[in-house]
């Protein structure tokens, strides 16, 4: 049986005619180069996550014209079955990851029992990782494979629109992309990373979701229903 490839997933995404495909990352061939590099790892026996059908889920579920909020992550969870292609989203069967528990505590303290963030994506929340793939048991394995160009271009594309959006930048890597955002048209809410390893602990109590909804309301957009039902 042939191992599913990222190149095949990319070809399928191209068939969707997504507005994101106009990004230079896709239009100028960088996506093909990255996909081929990941496919080399698959051919070498690496287990690449998430499943190929979910690699471009963030872009597929939240088209560029629909984006109201942008949340940037690092890379997918490296345990098989945990990631579904959306930053911070968790569909595993064990306890929620520590960072996700901290995030969801800002939505409804003490109530988080599930971590699938697909409902956010459907409402216009772009949940995009800096790397769309990872290898099982090796967090960060593909951070230098070229995926970061896609994250940069996606942020810049949202910033270039006339429609206002709000960017939630958590931690140093996400905050480094603040320079790509036109603050005269868009909201930028920065704070520390939600990881419990963040010694500054400047994420808990920052109320990113309440502040984002307030910003959206001020700019004529309906709020996001952040609570996961």
Distance CA 87, CA 204 (A): 19
45 to each of 48, 121, 147, how far by Cα in Å?
9, 32, 21
Question: What is the C-alpha radius of gyration for the chain, rounded to an integer number of angstroms?
Answer: 17
CA-closest candidate to residue 198, choices 180, 171, 179? 171
Q: Are 31 and 133 in contact (CB under 8 A)?
A: no
Tokens of 71: 């949340």
Q: Which of 142, 198, 197, 190 is nearest to 170 (CA)?
A: 190
Q: Whole-angstrom distance between the N-terminal and C-terminal Cα of the chain? A: 39
Alpha-carbon distance 183 to 89, whole Å? 27
Q: What's the CA gap between 11 and 107, in Å, rounded?
A: 37
Of 32, 39, 75, 207, catalytic = 75
Selection from 77, 222, 54 nearest residue 135 by Cα: 77
Using an 8 Å Cβ cutoff, are 49 and 134 in contact?
yes
Is 207 annotated in the active site? no
**Residues noted as catalytic:** 75
């Amino acid at each position: 049986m042939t191992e599913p490839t990222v190149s095949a997933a990319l070809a399928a995404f191209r068939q969707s005619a997504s507005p994101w495909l106009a990004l230079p990352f896709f239009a100028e061939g960088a996506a093909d180069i990255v996909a081929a590099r990941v496919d080399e790892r698959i051919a070498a026996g690496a287990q690449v996550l998430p499943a190929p059908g979910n690699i471009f889920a963030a872009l597929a579920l939240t088209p560029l014209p629909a984006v109201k909020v942008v949340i940037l992550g690092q890379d997918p969870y490296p345990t098989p079955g945990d990631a579904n292609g959306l930053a911070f989203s968790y569909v595993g069967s064990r306890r929620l990851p520590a960072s996700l528990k901290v995030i969801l505590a800002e939505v409804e303290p003490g109530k988080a029992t599930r971590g699938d963030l697909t409902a956010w994506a459907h409402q216009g929340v772009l949940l995009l990782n800096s790397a769309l793939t990872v290898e099982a048991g090796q967090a960060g394995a593909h951070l230098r494979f070229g995926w970061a160009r896609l994250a940069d271009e996606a942020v810049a594309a949202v910033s270039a629109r006339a429609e206002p959006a709000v960017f939630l930048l958590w931690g140093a890597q996400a905050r480094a992309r603040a320079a790509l955002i036109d603050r005269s048209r868009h909201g930028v809410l920065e704070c520390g990373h939600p990881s419990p390893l963040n010694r500054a602990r400047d994420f808990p109590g920052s109320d990113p979701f309440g502040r984002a909804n307030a910003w959206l309301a001020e700019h004529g957009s309906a709020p996001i229903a952040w609570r996961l039902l």
